[in-house]
């Protein structure tokens, strides 16, 4: 989604059949545990209202839709982890079909990200104490960051402490990884043509960390089935957040149980 609206829909689809996935969740998938709505039609209506609201200049409309959703006792977590990614998917699909301009999709996506940020917990609420520390990294040249923000919020709700790196240079990220002790590293692979560079970054990360730390690569490249294993020396390739956590030996827990969080001695098979 960096080539502008003037390109034909067929050309865009030929270049990247995963454009919709890239917009909605270029990082690891955060929709592994789908909730069953009490009324599927009502849920779709709310999502449609949210989509219209993020395309409206008036922020009061977004607040009104959010208030309506909350009045139905739908938790903020479901809004952030299910409703917002679905709206992002719809925006991306509309752009691919030439039914929406690049500018409208970009602005709408920015508003969705702002909503995720407002709805998301931080480590002061969920990741305190002995919670395992996870790094979520979107390489500096990537522009699709909504998925990483949703993932970060979900991990914090699961009780983990998370440091999110968006648009940071390699040097900054490597220094941060070396200065702290991380229990897992989640890395985005959105573009298949950048895999060689991504592989080099993974090698540098292994040298930077103070101990053997599992590196999980996910994102739209993984979701599209791009053969990246030969280019990127990660431990696990998955777009399922729970599969990633299990591979790292990390236990999920509710916020009230965060003091009991532990990390097992087992790591991914490639260690």
**pLDDT (tens digit, 9 = 90+) per residue, 55-96?**
999 999 999 999 999 999 999 989 988 999 899 889 988 988
> Exposure of 247 by Cβ count < 10 A (0-12 exposed, 13-18 middle, 19+ buried)?
buried
Domain residue limits at 127:
123-260
pLDDT of 134 reads: 95
| 201, 172 Cβ separation under 8 angstroms | no
> Does 5 or 41 have the greater pLDDT score?
41
| The most confident of 140-149, 159-168, 251-260, by mean pLDDT | 159-168
Is residue 98's pLDDT more than 50?
A: yes
What is the tally of structural domains in the chain?
2
Please indicate, yes or no, whether residues 165 and 88 belong to a single structural domain of this protein.
Answer: no
pLDDT of 27 reads: 35
Q: Tell me which residue has tokens 């914090």.
A: 156
Is residue 262's pLDDT more than 60?
A: no
Please indicate, yes or no, whether residues 57 and 88 belong to a single structural domain of this protein.
Answer: yes
- Kindly give, in sequence order, each residue whose CB lies less than 8 Å from that of residue 97, ignoring residues fewer than 6 positions away: 9
Please indicate, yes or no, whether residues 217 and 107 belong to a single structural domain of this protein.
Answer: no
Does some domain include residue 2?
no
Does some domain include residue 21?
yes
Computed over every residue of the chain, the mean pLDDT equals: 76
Is residue 17's pLDDT more than 60?
A: no
Please indicate, yes or no, whether residues 128 and 107 belong to a single structural domain of this protein.
Answer: no
Does some domain include residue 269?
no
Residue that is last in its domain, among 89, 119, 149:
119
Mean pLDDT of 160-186: 92
Does some domain include residue 270?
no
Helices (H), the chain: 9-15, 19-25, 40-54, 59-71, 76-78, 84-96, 102-119, 123-126, 146-157, 170-179, 195-208, 220-223, 241-247
Please indicate, yes or no, whether residues 152 and 101 belong to a single structural domain of this protein.
Answer: no
Please indicate, yes or no, whether residues 78 and 104 belong to a single structural domain of this protein.
Answer: yes
| 82, 115 Cβ separation under 8 angstroms | no
Q: CA Rg, the chain, in Å? A: 19
Is residue 159's pLDDT more than 50?
A: yes
CA distance 104 to 78: 25
The residues that bridge with 16 in the sheet, in sequence order, are none
- Kindly give, in sequence order, each residue whose CB lies less than 8 Å from that of residue 33, ignoring residues fewer than 6 positions away: 242
Mean pLDDT of 47-62: 94
Please indicate, yes or no, whether residues 166 and 68 belong to a single structural domain of this protein.
Answer: no
CA distance 153 to 135: 12
Phi, psi of 23 (to 5 degrees): -70, -45
| 47, 24 Cβ separation under 8 angstroms | no
CA distance 1 to 6: 11
pLDDT of 41 reads: 85
Of 176, 230, 238, 226, the closest CA to residue 205 belongs to: 176
Residue that is last in its domain, among 119, 152, 179:
119
CA distance 98 to 107: 16
Please indicate, yes or no, whether residues 253 and 134 belong to a single structural domain of this protein.
Answer: yes
Mean pLDDT of 246-268: 51
């Amino acid at each position: 989604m960096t080539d502008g609206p003037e390109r034909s829909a067929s050309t865009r689809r030929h270049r990247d059949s995963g454009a919709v996935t890239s917009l909605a969740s270029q990082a690891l998938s955060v929709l592994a545990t789908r909730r069953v709505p009490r009324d599927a039609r009502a849920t779709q209506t709310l999502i449609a209202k949210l989509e219209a609201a993020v395309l409206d200049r008036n922020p009061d409309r977004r607040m009104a839709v959010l208030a309506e959703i909350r009045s139905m006792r739908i938790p903020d977590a479901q809004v952030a982890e299910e409703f917002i990614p679905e709206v992002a998917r719809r925006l991306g699909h509309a752009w691919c079909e030439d039914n929406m301009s690049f500018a409208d999709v970009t602005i709408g996506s920015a508003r969705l990200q702002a909503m995720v940020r407002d709805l998301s917990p931080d480590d002061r609420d969920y990741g305190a104490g002995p919670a395992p520390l996870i790094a979520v990294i979107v390489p500096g040249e990537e522009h699709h960051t909504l998925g990483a923000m949703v993932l970060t919020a979900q991990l914090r709700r699961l009780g983990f402490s998370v440091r999110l790196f968006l648009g940071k240079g390699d040097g900054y990220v490597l220094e941060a990884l070396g200065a702290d002790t991380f229990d897992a590293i989640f890395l985005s692979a959105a573009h298949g043509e950048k895999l060689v560079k991504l592989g080099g970054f993974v090698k540098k990360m292994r040298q930077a960390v103070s101990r053997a730390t599992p590196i999980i690569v996910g994102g739209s490249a993984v979701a599209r089935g791009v053969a990246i294993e030969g280019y990127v020396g990660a431990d696990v390739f998955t777009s399922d957040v729970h599969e990633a956590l299990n591979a790292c030996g990390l236990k999920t827990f509710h916020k009230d149980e965060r003091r009991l969080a532990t990390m097992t001695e087992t790591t991914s098979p490639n260690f």
